[in-house]
Amino acid sequence: MEKISSWEQEQEWLEQVKEKLKSGIANLEPEVGRLKEQATDIRKRFWEEVTVNTSTQEDFEESFFTITQQDAVLSERERSHARKLQQWKNMKRLLPSPYFGRIDFHEDGQIPEELVYIGVSSFVDTDGLSFVVYDWRTPIASLYYDYPPGKAAFDTPGGRISGTMSLKRQYQIRNGQLQHLFDANVTIGDELLQQVLGKGADAQMKSIVATIQAEQNAIIRNDNSQMLIVQGAAGSGKTSAALQRVAYLLYKHRERLSADQIVLFSPNPMFNSYVSTVLPELGEENMQQTTFQEYLETWLSPEFRLEDPFDQIEYVLTGEQDRGYGSRLQAVEYKASEAFLRALQGYSQWLKQEGMLFNDICFRDRVLISGEQIKTRLYSYDPSIRLPNRVTLVQKWLLEELARLQKEEQGASWVQEEMNYLDNEQYAKVYGMLHREKGVFDFAEKYLRLQEMLVHKRELDESDFDYAEREEELLGEMIVKEQFRPLRRGIKRFTFIDMSGLYRQLFTDERAYREMTGEAELPELWPEICAQTKEKLSGQELFYEDSTPYLYLKELIEGVRTNTQVRHIFVDEGQDYSMFQYEFLKKLFPRARMTVLGDFGQAIFTQATNLSGESSPLVQLYGEAETAQYQLVRSYRSTYEIVEFTKPLLPGGEAIVPFERRGRKPVLTKLESHEMKAERIVKDLATLQAEGYTSIAVITKTAAESIEAYKKLTAGGAAELRLITKNTPTFEKGVQVIPAYLAKGVEFDAVLIYDTSTQTYQRENERKLFYTACTRAMHVLQLYTTGEWTPFIREVDPALYELAER
Ligand SMILES: Nc1ncnc2c1ncn2[C@@H]1O[C@H](COP(=O)(O)OP(=O)(O)OP(=O)(O)O)[C@@H](O)[C@H]1O
């Protein structure tokens, strides 16, 4: 390709690429349509054309051959159709903005320098060989993200290729028109990044494909480690990198990895909608998305009513006046700890010898098989057999016993009585069964007659095939079977194990706990913790901190459920998960690699896990050799001024590097009364909207404070406020009133902290919550109080903020 350098040349080249794309689209259009028609047509005619002839072996083979042949044709057409359709879609997606970057690369030892244009997918010229545009995920495209002009190298499946990059250029092309171009030197154009970051927040996250930074690229392309841990400051692009990584993996392993083999664990359901457009924008299907709570609900409800993490944090933040507050806090911490994990493992060892609890299996107020009998059976097996295996043996035995008891039950008097109350449908079912059996009867009859003729015995009477008797027998069988069904189902689901009792047993008393678990260290307020846990269990409820341990214990006893389909799991806001939860995910997805992204600076839940550094237990999950750790310190979301203001709020915050995007300093406004505060916020909201900010959040500490703010601001004249609760399904533009813990992971043009007083943010566990709230702001941060400022602000250099006039 000839050297293209000037603006005019670039414009001309763009026109050429667009023409190529247009003609590519036009060429494929009829073909795509036709192939689609053909495939549906063959499918329709598939069975019409094939006559299955099974009269002779040859006929059968012929039919079989024809079917396989037809099927092969159909599959080929479908594959070809999918391929062409994909090409066609890619070209259509490229047309408005065919590429965003270019590198001129001279490979060592090769003559022509290559001009590599990079876009969201590849586009090959009509010769079928030359790339007009390279997909950003191709090996050569990594040069664009990893190097400034100069010496550069990239890895390919065939080895490392080195050379010299003489130019690195970025483009902004909108609706097919070249708007800007920048030549970059060091990192990927700060100018382009400036432009991108300077824009307003959206209700949906955007792809960062054109401006991925080198440190993010390393995360996106790591394909060796079993575990990837990314600790990154607020706004450093963790979620963005995670989504780009999904797109990269789907591209690199497109032959064997599909989107439904990737699962993203999100902090809340609203977050799912926030990130849902990134992958489709990149031409990929969305991965599966879920929350850990959803998983817990699947296995523990409706047996229990589960507290969710948001109710738990609300209690931690507001329950100080509660009598059991101190012990609950200790419980939350202890039940998420490795000590408790070990305790449960120890407990399951102890249960191998003694202490298992079983429920009686009852039927019509009678005990069919007692819990004691089950227990005796369990401990009668060889003690060297693992506990879950012994439990499975017990389950098998119970099902056999049940089958025997079911037969015995058929003669019971209640069955006769029930028979009188059967409805027509049930009778019809039995008649149907009898009818089907009739063939067998007829055959048996013929056989017996023949026998009789041969041995000259007596003729059989009609009564030998007494349908009435058979009918009654069948009806009885059906009635008992029906009533035994829940018992059978229960046994299959292990309900004969008294799981709730087993968990409760752990909380009997201190001495017993030590004996059963082998753990010596206990929280100081253990007796209170025991009482609280048992009380909750009695009401068929589980605290959030109990759900995972409960499920973990269940699996230690019943055996582990696994999902071997899933190949990658992503955990966003990873600091909010306990080691329990990680152990759990590892067991649940034994064939998956894990990518954990989080920020310990935003660890607002008590059960937090430190992701990086020596104290991180997460590194031990797969071992150091299998784990890659990354740190992202550059913060892209907020302006320089906001980052500088939020840095001192955190211990160790000085390591955070702001991106040089300027804005106004955070503004602190102190008012005399709550009424005046509401009035002022309403006025400021109107000003911000008039300035063009479309996504604004009034952030509160708790849900209760959100309701209060919502009422006061609405009463004060604020229009179209949206109150966000944990049940809000989607994220939208406009003005939101939202508790900080629900604003995790998302961002707004402007953030207004509703109450920044000492009363609201004072305790150490509120520091990170406050930091999380402030770091949601992209362009504007305003803070309000009626009383004294929170001590966290008093620690900040006054030069970093402005005080507003009243
Ligand atoms: N390389 C990049 N190019 C353009 N924008 C970027 C880049 N990296 C991050 N951003 C932008 O920075 C903002 C924050 O990114 P993201 O939400 O991924 O960060 P995060 O680390 O997950 O933040 P948090 O921990 O606060 O949830 C987003 O608006 C994102 O688009």
Residue-by-residue DSSP string for 597-654? EE-GGG--STT----SSTT-THHHHH-GGGEEEEEE-EE-SS-HHHHHHHGGGSTTGG
Cβ contact 294:265 at 8 Å: no
In b/e form, how buried is each residue of 605-614, taking b as 16+ CB within 10 angstroms? bbbbbbbbee
> What's the gap in Å between 237 CA and the centre of ligand 1?
3
pLDDT digits (tens, 9 = 90+) for 323-344: 999 999 999 999 998 899 999 9
Task: Choose which residue among 145, 240, 570 to substitute to test ligand 1 binding: the one with the highest number of ligand atoms within 8 A of its C-beta.
Answer: 240
pLDDT at position 18 is 95
Length of the chain: 806
- CA 396, distance to chain mean position in Å, is 35
Cβ contact 201:748 at 8 Å: yes
Q: Provide the 3-class DSSP secondary structure of residue 674.
A: helix
Separation of first and last alpha carbons in the chain: 64
pLDDT at position 420 is 74
Q: Provide the 3-class DSSP secondary structure of residue 662.
A: coil
Mean pLDDT of 132-136: 95
Give residue 613's identity as a one-letter amino acid code: G
pLDDT at 1 over 70: no
pLDDT digits (tens, 9 = 90+) for 279-305: 998 889 999 999 999 989 988 988 899
pLDDT at position 447 is 63
CB count within 10 Å of CB 521 equals 9
Question: How buried is residue 311: exposed, middle or buried, by Cβ count under 10 Å (0-12/13-18/19+)?
Answer: middle
Give residue 735's identity as a one-letter amino acid code: V
Return the residue whose CA atom lies nearest to atom 29 of ligand 1: 637
> What's the gap in Å between 205 CA and the centre of ligand 1?
9
Tell me the domain boundaries of the chain: 10-94, 97-202+211-221, 227-302+564-635, 662-803
pLDDT-derived band at 141, boundaries 50, 70, 90: very high
Task: Choose which residue among 212, 229, 231, 636 to substitute to test ligand 1 binding: the one with the highest number of ligand atoms within 8 A of its C-beta.
Answer: 636
pLDDT at position 774 is 97
Q: At what angle do helices 325-335 and 544-558 cross, to 10 degrees?
A: 40
The stretches of 338-423 forming alpha helices (DSSP H) are: 338-353, 371-380, 387-409, 413-420
478 contacts: CB under 8 Å, gap ≥ 6: 426, 429, 430
In this predicted complex, what is the ipTM?
A: 0.99
> What's the gap in Å between 135 CA and the centre of ligand 1?
22
pLDDT at 468 over 80: no
Sort strands 361-363 and 101-107 into parallel, antiparallel or unpaired: unpaired
* Residue 236 annotated in ligand binding: yes
Q: Provide the 3-class DSSP secondary structure of residue 301.
A: coil
pLDDT-derived band at 798, boundaries 50, 70, 90: very high
pLDDT at 584 over 70: yes
- Kindly state the helix (H) or strand (E) to which residue 119 belongs, with its residue range: strand 114-119
pLDDT at 523 over 90: yes
Percent of the chain with pLDDT over 90: 60
Q: Which residue, 803, 272, 258, 264, is CA-closest to 565?
A: 258
pLDDT at position 402 is 92
pLDDT at position 67 is 66
pLDDT at position 351 is 96
> What's the gap in Å between 206 CA and the centre of ligand 1?
9
pLDDT at position 359 is 96
pLDDT-derived band at 4, boundaries 50, 70, 90: confident
Torsion, Cα of 791, 792, 796, 798 (10° steps): -50
The stretches of 253-383 forming alpha helices (DSSP H) are: 269-275, 278-281, 292-300, 309-318, 325-335, 338-353, 371-380
Cβ contact 677:784 at 8 Å: yes
pLDDT at 703 over 70: yes
> What's the gap in Å between 269 CA and the centre of ligand 1?
19
227-302+564-635: which CATH number, 3.40.50.1110, 3.40.50.2300, 3.30.70.3340, 3.40.50.300? 3.40.50.300
Q: At what angle do helices 338-353 and 387-409 cross, to 10 degrees?
A: 50
- Mean pLDDT for all residues in the chain: 87
pLDDT-derived band at 612, boundaries 50, 70, 90: confident
- CA 37, distance to chain mean position in Å, is 37
pLDDT digits (tens, 9 = 90+) for 271-281: 888 898 899 98
pLDDT at position 459 is 52
For the CA of 776, the closest atom of ligand 1 is: 26
Largest CA distance in the chain: 119
* Residue 33 annotated in ligand binding: no
Q: Which residue, 317, 537, 544, 609, is CA-closest to 325?
A: 317
pLDDT at position 441 is 57
CB count within 10 Å of CB 252 equals 14
Both tokens assigned to 32: 């795509």
> What's the gap in Å between 176 CA and the centre of ligand 1?
27
- CA 457, distance to chain mean position in Å, is 74
Task: Choose which residue among 239, 266, 768 to substitute to test ligand 1 binding: the one with the highest number of ligand atoms within 8 A of its C-beta.
Answer: 239
pLDDT digits (tens, 9 = 90+) for 18-59: 999 999 999 888 877 776 666 566 556 655 555 555 566 666
pLDDT-derived band at 189, boundaries 50, 70, 90: low
Return the residue whose CA atom lies nearest to atom 18 of ligand 1: 237
> What's the gap in Å between 637 CA and the centre of ligand 1?
6
Q: Tell me how far CA of residue 676 lies from CA of 672, 709, 788, in angstroms.
A: 7, 13, 16
pTM (2 decimals)? 0.84
pLDDT at 443 over 80: no
Least confident of 24-33, 155-164, 249-258: 24-33
Mean pLDDT of 766-785: 95
Least confident of 216-225, 412-421, 489-498, 728-737: 412-421
pLDDT-derived band at 715, boundaries 50, 70, 90: very high
* CATH top-level class of 662-803: alpha beta
For the CA of 212, the closest atom of ligand 1 is: 1
Report DSSP letters for 1-61, one per residue: -----SHHHHHHHHHHHHHHHHHHHHHHHHHHHHHHHHHHHHHHHHHHH-----SSHHHHH
449 sits in the region (left: phi over 0; alpha: psi -120 to 50; else beta) called alpha
Both tokens assigned to 769: 């919550």
Least confident of 450-464, 514-528, 547-561, 582-596: 450-464
> What's the gap in Å between 18 CA and the centre of ligand 1?
31
Angstrom distance (rounded) from CA 188 to CA 99? 15
The stretches of 95-141 forming alpha helices (DSSP H) are: none
Q: Which residues line ligand 1 (CB under 6 A)?
A: 193, 196-197, 206, 208, 211-213, 216, 232, 234-240, 599, 636-637, 745, 747, 775
Return the residue whose CA atom lies nearest to atom 15 of ligand 1: 237
Task: Choose which residue among 195, 220, 229, 236 to substitute to test ligand 1 binding: the one with the highest number of ligand atoms within 8 A of its C-beta.
Answer: 236
pLDDT at 187 over 60: no
Cβ contact 277:205 at 8 Å: yes
Mean pLDDT of 188-206: 75
Both tokens assigned to 229: 């841990």
Look up residue 290 and give its DSSP letter: E
pLDDT at position 188 is 54
pLDDT-derived band at 216, boundaries 50, 70, 90: very high
pLDDT digits (tens, 9 = 90+) for 109-130: 887 889 999 999 999 988 888 8
Radius of gyration of the chain (CA): 34
CB count within 10 Å of CB 302 equals 8
pLDDT digits (tens, 9 = 90+) for 396-439: 999 999 999 988 888 887 887 777 777 777 667 766 766 666 66
Mean pLDDT of 342-363: 94
Both tokens assigned to 193: 């990044």
> What's the gap in Å between 219 CA and the centre of ligand 1?
14
Determine if the peptide bond prior to 302 is cis (ω within 30°): yes
pLDDT-derived band at 548, boundaries 50, 70, 90: very high
- Between 201 and 798, name the one with better pLDDT: 798
Beta-bridged to residue 361, according to DSSP, are: 369
Torsion, Cα of 119, 122, 125, 127 (10° steps): 160
φ and ψ at 488, to 5 degrees?
Answer: -60, -45
* Residue 517 annotated in ligand binding: no
Return the residue whose CA atom lies nearest to atom 27 of ligand 1: 745
804 contacts: CB under 8 Å, gap ≥ 6: 667, 668, 669, 782
Least confident of 84-98, 193-207, 366-380, 726-740: 193-207
Mean pLDDT of 363-375: 92
706 contacts: CB under 8 Å, gap ≥ 6: 700, 723, 724, 725, 737, 738, 739
* Residue 743 annotated in ligand binding: no
Fold agreement between 227-302+564-635 and 662-803: yes
* Residue 151 annotated in ligand binding: no
Cβ contact 99:115 at 8 Å: no
User: Which range has highest mean pLDDT (43-52, 213-222, 649-658)?
Assistant: 213-222
> What's the gap in Å between 745 CA and the centre of ligand 1?
9
φ and ψ at 361, to 5 degrees?
Answer: -100, 110
Cβ contact 669:783 at 8 Å: yes
- Between 740 and 421, name the one with better pLDDT: 740
Look up residue 260 and give its DSSP letter: G
Angstrom distance (rounded) from CA 530 to CA 540? 16
Cβ contact 638:778 at 8 Å: yes
pLDDT at 225 over 90: yes
Cβ contact 102:116 at 8 Å: yes
Both tokens assigned to 79: 């594959």
For the CA of 232, the closest atom of ligand 1 is: 21
pLDDT at position 33 is 72
- Kindly state the helix (H) or strand (E) to which residue 471 belongs, with its residue range: helix 467-492
pLDDT at position 50 is 54
Return the residue whose CA atom lies nearest to atom 4 of ligand 1: 208
CB count within 10 Å of CB 30 equals 9
Q: Tell me how far CA of residue 264 lies from CA of 281, 288, 632, in angstroms.
A: 18, 6, 20
489 contacts: CB under 8 Å, gap ≥ 6: none
